[in-house]
Amino acid sequence: MTTAYPGTAGATRTCPHCRETILESAAVCPSCRHKLRFSEPTSASAAPASASVPLRVEGSFRNPVDSEAWEYSMVLTIRNERGEEIARKLVGVGAMQPGEQRTFTLSVEMNPSSAGSKRTRH
């Protein structure tokens, strides 16, 4: 979790459904997609129209039919403007048999913060 104080931009909490670390302001968990708030339908985090996706990358690869099984690790790294690593997460691992294909999609969703404009570490 971040060092942001509760109620400020970037503050985090644990999703009660999947136990992932999420933004405190989230109305829907981005991991398990369960609803977290029902009383604030007009909040910035609940209104999908205010959300933007400034980055979306999708790619796939196929294990050649004439090869052996391949193993893969999906690792996500987040860096700040100085190139310093602030988060690194192993997202998933697996194996592919000959002829199998995997597609990976990365998207970054951004919402205006409903908390004050206080700057946080992340």
- The CA distance from 44 to 49, in Å, is 9
Higher pLDDT, 106 or 24: 106
Task: Quote the mean pLDDT of the chain.
Answer: 82
Per-residue confidence band for 27, with pLDDT thresholds at 50, 70 and 90: confident
- The CA distance from 44 to 23, in Å, is 13
Higher pLDDT, 41 or 26: 26
Percentage of residues in the chain with pLDDT exceeding 90?
A: 41
List C-alpha distances in Å: 30 to 4, 40, 46, 50, 85. Answer: 19, 17, 12, 15, 22
pTM exceeds cut of 0.85: no
pLDDT tens column, 37-94: 765 555 444 445 567 899 999 999 999 999 999 999 999 999 999 999 999 998 888 9
- Name which of 34, 69, 88 is nearest 26 in CA terms: 34
Domain coordinates of the chain in residue numbers?
Answer: 1-50, 52-112
Phi-psi region of 9 (alpha: psi -120 to 50; beta: other; left: phi over 0): beta
- The CA distance from 71 to 107, in Å, is 23
Torsion sign, CA atoms 109, 15, 8, 86: negative
Q: Are 56 and 106 in contact (CB under 8 A)?
A: yes
